Amino acid sequence: MSTARRLPPAAQALIAGDRRTLARLITGAENDDPGSREVLRAIYPRTGRAWLIGFAGPLGVGKSSLINELIAHLRSLRKNVAVVAVDPSSPFSGGSVLGDRIRLDRSPDDPGVFIRSMASRGHAGGLARATREVTRLLEAAGFDIVLVETVGSGQVDVEIREVATTSVVVLVPHLGDEVQTLKAGLFEIADVFCVNKAELPGADRARRDLSELAGLGSVDPDWTVPVVATSTVTHAGVSELWQAIEAHEHYLDSSGKRVERERGRLTREILALTEGRFAADLSSDPSLARRVEPVLAHKQDPETAARRWWLERRKGRA
Ligand SMILES: Nc1nc2c(ncn2[C@@H]2O[C@H](COP(=O)(O)OP(=O)(O)OP(=O)(O)O)[C@@H](O)[C@H]2O)c(=O)[nH]1
Ligand SMILES: [Mg+2]
């Protein structure tokens, strides 16, 4: 019996390219549905090679517009591309919500493009996990390039590194003081900088400033973060942006950093899942109620109660 025949039917349909199955499984993954979990387990050996390109940056800098341009560019290179837009403001209807802020100027029937919005609401801390699972489903469905747009808020932006193989930070001219405030957050996550709206005055200056700053604070001392100027109005710089992304992906392979980074991400993923199980186990432990009473009576402080409970449980397992 071939391996393929041992897969659950939904996994087989997914791999065969059935888009409705893909959409249904993504919803299931977001809702922690057991059917989707089973498929995720079954397809895992087929995943791990995709290029997951994250786009982070402040509100309105043009992330969606750039992704739109990149889709067109990648289609002209005959590459399939999937987009995951993490949008806290888009209501989650339970079904497939199109990336409504991505203006689709191509055939909606093009099977080489798949766009999906995910609401970050309800995923507190679990956004990275849900997004990773969605990218795995997309990869199993034949998309080996996935573009992920995140919102401009710091927390979600940081999480993009837990998902993306290459993180693009998008900014605009006239950064000024903004760069100072962004430095701590966005500079830590950038593999590539993009100065969008480059047809506006001040773009050259912004690009120079960023190149200088990028040289100072890269997360990876062996990688010089490139700064690419783009305009989705004049369509300038889009192929250069893709080249910079490709260069980083190739660097990940040639330097061994792809495996190194993935090891770190998977370690944290396993840890988070295990912590989740421990937490569920702990909160349903009947001895917790007994531990609360002396604390409630102010005969014992919470920290001592926690330590003793931990010791008691550890002894119980030994
Ligand atoms: N002048 C100029 N405007 C642009 C360019 N790219 C995007 N815009 C405009 O900037 C606005 C925001 O674009 P979006 O692509 O929605 O930006 P975004 O970063 O995805 O926005 P959020 O998802 O809301 O954070 C829109 O009005 C775009 O038309 C550009 O290169 N030049
Ligand atoms: Mg957007």
pLDDT in tens, 130-174: 889 999 999 999 999 999 998 655 555 657 888 899 999 998 987
Nearest ligand, CA 156: 1
- Average pLDDT for residues 190-202, to the nearest whole number? 93
pLDDT at residue 30, as a whole number: 86
What are the Cα distances from residue 258, in Å, to 138, 149, 262, 267, 281? 19, 21, 6, 14, 34
CA 7 – ligand 2 centroid, Å: 36
Residue 68 in any domain: the answer is yes
- At residue 56, the pLDDT reads 87
- The ligand minimizing its distance to the Cα of 89 is 1
Nearest CA to ligand 1 atom 9: 62
Is 97 inside a domain boundary?
yes
In the structure, what pLDDT confidence band is assigned to residue 189 with cuts at 50, 70 and 90? confident
Mapped to the 3 state alphabet, what secondary structure does 252-308 carry?
Answer: HHHHCHHHHHHHHHHHHHHHHHHHHHHHHHHHCCCHHHHHHHHHHCCCCCHHHHHHH
85 and 230 in a single domain? The answer is yes
Q: Are 195 and 206 in contact (CB under 8 A)?
A: yes
Do 218 and 283 fall into the same domain? no
Residues 6+ apart with CB under 8 A from 254: none
Q: Are 194 and 305 part of one and the same domain?
A: no
Residues 217 and 281 in one domain: no
Burial string for 182-216 (b: 16+ CB within 10 Å, else e) reads: beeebbebbbbbbbbbbeeebbeebbebbeebbee
Ligand 1, pocket-test mutation among 61, 63, 64, 65, most atoms within 8 A of CB: 65
Q: Which range of residues forms the domain containing residue 308?
A: 266-317
Helix, strand, or coil (residue 225): coil
Residue in the block written with tokens 């917790």: 288
CA 86 / ligand 2 centre spacing (Å):
9
Whether 111 and 218 share a structural domain: yes
Q: How far does residue 163's CA lie from ligand 2's centre (Å)?
A: 18
Structural domain contains residue 57: yes
Would you say residue 161 lies in a domain? yes
Pair 185, 306 in one domain: no
Closest ligand to the CA of 232: 1
Does the residue 83 lie in any domain? yes
Please identify, by atom number, the ligand 1 atom nearest to the C-alpha of residue 59. 25
Domain count, the chain: 2
Using the mean position of ligand 2's atoms as its centre, give its distance from the Cα of residue 59 in Å: 7
**Cα 238 to ligand 1 centre (Å):** 14
Angle at the Cα of 142 from the Cα atoms of 168 and 140, rounded to 5 degrees: 95
The number of the ligand nearest the C-alpha atom of 65 reads 1
Q: Which atom of ligand 1 is nearest to the CA of 87?
A: 23
Confidence band for 101, pLDDT divided at 50, 70 and 90: very low
Token readout for 164 is: 């993306």
Measured by CA distance, the residue closest to atom 8 of ligand 1 is 62
Same structural domain, 102 and 227: yes
Interval between CA 267 and ligand 2 midpoint (Å): 30
Q: Share the mean pLDDT of the chain.
A: 85
pLDDT at residue number 221: 84
In the chain, what percentage of residues exceed pLDDT 90?
58
Strands (E), the chain: 51-56, 81-86, 113-118, 145-149, 166-171, 192-195, 227-229
Length of the chain: 318
**CA 121/CA 176 separation, integer angstroms:** 32
Whether 82 and 138 have beta carbons less than 8 Å apart is answered as yes
Strand-pair partners of 56: 169
The string of pLDDT tens digits covering residues 33-82 is 999 999 999 999 999 999 999 998 888 889 999 999 999 999 999 999 99
* Helix/strand/coil for 242: helix
Q: Are residues 237 and 270 in the same domain?
A: no
Q: Which residues pair with 167 in a beta bridge?
A: 54
* pTM listed for this prediction: 0.87
Same domain, 51 and 165: yes
Domain final residue pick, 209, 225, 255 = 255
Query: Residue 53 has which token pair?
Result: 């390109």
Q: Are residues 311 and 187 in the same domain?
A: no
Asked whether 195 and 227 are in contact (CB, 8 A), the reply is yes
Ligand 2 centroid, distance to 250 Cα (angstroms):
27
β-pair type (192-195, 227-229): parallel
Residues 108-120, mean pLDDT to the nearest whole number = 82
pLDDT band at 96 (very low <50, low <70, confident <90, very high): very low
For residues 111 and 77, the answer to whether their CB atoms sit within 8 Å is no
The Cβ of residue 10 has, within 10 Å, a number of other Cβ atoms equal to: 20
Q: Please tell me the predicted confidence (pLDDT) of residue 161.
A: 81
Contact criterion met (CB below 8 Å) for 132 and 30: no
| d(CA 113, ligand 2 centre) in Å | 17
Task: Give a yes or no: residue 6 inside a domain.
Answer: no
Q: Whose CA is nearest to atom 1 of ligand 1?
A: 197
Closest Cα to atom 6 of ligand 1 = 62
Which residues lie closer than 8 Å to 131 by C-beta, 6 or more apart? 84, 86, 118, 148, 159, 163
In a domain? residue 76:
yes
Task: Give the CA distances from residue 299 to residues 120, 196, 308, 313, in Å, rounded to whole numbers and listed in that order.
Answer: 42, 60, 14, 21
Query: Which of 118, 149, 160, 232 has most ligand 1 atoms within 8 Å of its beta carbon, as the pocket-test mutant?
Result: 232
Residue 4 placed within a domain: no
Q: Which residues line ligand 1 (CB under 6 A)?
A: 59-65, 101, 152, 196-197, 199-200, 231-233
Residues 281 and 146 in one domain: no
Domain end residue (candidates: 206, 221, 255): 255
Specify whether 309 is located in the same domain as 216: no
Atom of ligand 1 nearest to the CA of 57: 19
Q: What is the CATH number of the domain that holds 51?
A: 3.40.50.300
